[in-house]
Amino acid sequence: GMNLLFWGRVLFSSAFLIFAFVVTLVALFDGKTTMWDGVPSAVAVILFFVLMSVVGMLEGMQIAFFAVARITEEERNSNPWASW
């Protein structure tokens, strides 16, 4: 029941992610983007991954900031690194 639903969602999400990844890379290598004309496809792909990494780090920081905002002052001061 629930296990099948979980793995069904995992399969659907993975398939959708792979599809989006393939479409993006094909568009980058075929030059069907709004990248400047003089930029080689390899540079566009590297730039894509660099910018996606930055977005991923910003998302992680946002989650961490909201998690820290909910911690009480006593919990924050209980860790030795926090009082350093």
Q: What is the pLDDT of residues 53-79, one digit of tens each?
A: 999 999 999 999 998 888 888 887 787
pLDDT of residue 80: 79
- Cα 71–Cα 74–Cα 79 angle in degrees, nearest 5: 85
Percent of the chain scoring above 70 in pLDDT: 98
Q: What is the pLDDT of residues 11-30, one digit of tens each?
A: 999 999 999 999 999 999 89
pLDDT of residue 84: 63
Cβ-contact 61, 41 below 8 angstroms: no
- 83 Cβ neighbours under 8 A, 6+ residues apart: 77
Cβ-contact 28, 48 below 8 angstroms: yes
